[in-house]
Structure 1
Amino acid sequence: MSETSRMGSGRVFPALPAHTDPEVPFAATWWGNAWIRALEETALDQARLARGRAYAREGSVDTITVAPGRVVAYVHGSRPRPYRAELRLRTLTPEDWTRFLDVVAADPAHIAALLDKDVPRSLAAAAGRAGVQLLPAGRELAPSCSCPDRGDPCKHAAALTYQTARLLDADPFVLFLMRGGEEADLLDELAHRNAQETAREALAGGGDVRIQGAGNNGPVPPAPTTPAAPTTPTAPASSPTEPTLPTEPPLSTHPAPLTGPTPLPGTLAREALAATYRPPLPPPPAPPSRPGDPPVLPATPGAPDPTALEFLVTDTAARAHAYLLTGTDPFPSAMEPWHDAVRLAASHPGLTGRRTFSRQFTELAASVDHTPKELARAAAAWRQGAEDGLATLESPWDPPAGPFDRARGALVAADLPRMTIHRNHLTNAEGTLQLRYGQDGRWYPYLSEPGGEDWWPEGEADVDPVGALAGVFEG
């Protein structure tokens, strides 16, 4: 198995259904439970684990992508935007894989068990004695998440861990893929070792050499040969008797070829082009309910950063999905770079933040000559009201008399704090709460630490100032 083949593109698993019965464990196999223990025994906060189990039982984990060294999924929490959770673990070296395959090939029962999607404890123990650790141990399982929670792990990464245990239960080759081994490559290598062993045994016994290959279901054990029955020579006594060759097994003992995929309905191109009548095209499929998740791309020397590519793919998918639903691009290409950077920071689930910023977020801010904090504040304003929300943050103005002047009276009538006026801003006496009147006629709530004058957009904009403040208090 080559090093290139081990670094495959991975497998994508659709979101698992809810696991609502709290009495039923997440894992039924010993290796699935060992995977969970690797997380639980090193977790620093049992409350976060409990919340992660609840998220997993509710089906909050989206499509799971498994690739060598990593497991990635978007996890829905209490906020509308999901967070990107990731689990990382060490991949095995080529030498590790050689020792592991030698251990498997040494016992036919181990081969049969793997083909039945089973990992005997004896196989894991034998691999361990050979220096190959299949399941994560200690703090080898490294969780991370795009959420602001610095817990180890946070509840989103914990939810992904519990759901991944269900994948391992169904198919232990998922574990081998995490360690860097593709299922097809593993089975091919086992078939190769099996064929070599069969050839050695045949040569040692002086019999025929029959090298068996691997079908779609993995390595095929060598077919036993039946000694030929003695025959009576028909030639004259003076003639040498011809040796009798062993009888070949009947053709029916060979595996039946697998059929190909079921063809899709349609018309062959040669038939359609040969006729003068062109049948109408089928109606386009309905657009999906949400954009798809980006693939997990391998880190290849000399190639672009896979995380940056994933970020751009996510944004492109969101724009394409919006175009399918509305027929127009919601974000014009003429948008200036600063506004486009703010839009990206506001819409990408992996870039949200306020006090802690990822490397991608920092690089995005630097590309438009702003600090990460400035970009985070602007992104929060964009989430309040897109370009109108950003303009309300960046451009104070003097509104005409009318709704703005009546706002203070409406706040007093609702028993809300009395506020002072400065241009289009209404601020409470403590300097912690502010309403900004936008040129789109909506009120944008802001919060700050007392006396800090560090105003951040908080909550949703509303045409009613009382409604805008009520949303902040409720949140």
Structure 2
Amino acid sequence: MTRHDVDMERTFAALPPAHGRGFAQTWWGQAWLKALEETALDSAQLKAGRRLARAGAVGAVSVRPGRITAVVQGRDRTAHRADVLLEELTGEQWDRFLDMAAERAGHVAALLDRDMPPHLVEDAAATGIELLPGMGDLEPECGCAAWDHCGHTAALCYQVARLLDQDPFVLLLMRGRGEHDLLDDLQARSTAPAEDPAEPPVSSDPEGVDAAEAYATGDILPPLPALPELPAEPGVPPSLVTETPPAPGVDPAALEFLAARTAAEAHRMLAEALRAEPEQHAAEAELTLDQDAVRLAASASPSESVAQRLAEGSERGRERLAVAVRAWRLGGVAALSVLDEEWTVEGAALARARAALDSAWDEDERPSLRAKGNRWTVIGTPGQLRLGRDGRWWPYREERGRWVPAGGPAQDPATALASAQLATEEEQP
């Protein structure tokens, strides 16, 4: 899909109810509503449309050349597709409008500021182009089979007036031109040099210099500003609590949790990048879904609903997720791998492990160990040593029939086991 295709259809999310405020604050938004109110034959339908729009009954609004569309829910909760048609400008009319606007820099600046000054509309009208709709220009079509404006199409028009207040390009799209295409055309007309028949044509090829040459002259350019300082703490994401209920399947609490953790992670990564030398930056392996769920659970205290979603996403359940969180806080991905993986130690790795175990204690102090894979259990005690694939030893202890991490890693197995025993003693009353 090209940018032109995207530009020629815009969809605006449903707006919250408009309690206690008018639908149009700008003069062009009011002109839009005037065209509606002068066209509709039944004032009762206009009142019904205002009530529906104020109550937030209008769904997402799709805007295309010549047509606006939305699903509107009536007072009886029945949903109808409502369309309002507006005649597009012809190609010749657009050329005249663009030529006129390009000659007046103020018109371009106003549009870029999302403004539609009266003199722009007046200048367009002087060239025979009516941008704003007049009486009878807004043609309704509705799934309720009404032949004139009904409450559904009226509600759509009132809602569109709010969109027009925010962005007059909505009106220009209805008239047939998307924002990017229109601005590109204005830019081309504004920068095109006036042609002199007596002068030979000038090449349109852009002028420039070789990239290496431009870089070599960097010393004549003004210095770049200093990098901004690292904020003291991560930013606070916006609250997602609104008057509009969330779409089906969307959990605002989960989104707020993810936004907060993303901000914290971005702050951490930026701090790390600012501390490190350029060549020290190392690409981190992408986390699996399970690992990312454990990371999120370990990074904060999620709500009950979010914790349950993380437990389901990791496929661990609440108890196993709690153990995985403990491991993550001790050593991230490496600690989680030691928790989950049982592998066979052999070859040089086995020789190094046996040498480390033999030299870790004096002969009369060496505990009795039972080996299974990369795990050495201390016989007669609730202690265990696990060997990571990086050669480090991780202490574990048995709690309620389950082996759980008891401390961080160590190069020496005796040090690792001692830290597990010390943690056990500190937890005893």
Flag the structure with higher helix content: 2
Q: What TM-score comes out, normalization by structure 1 length?
A: 0.42
User: Which protein is bigger by CA-based radius of gyration?
Assistant: 2
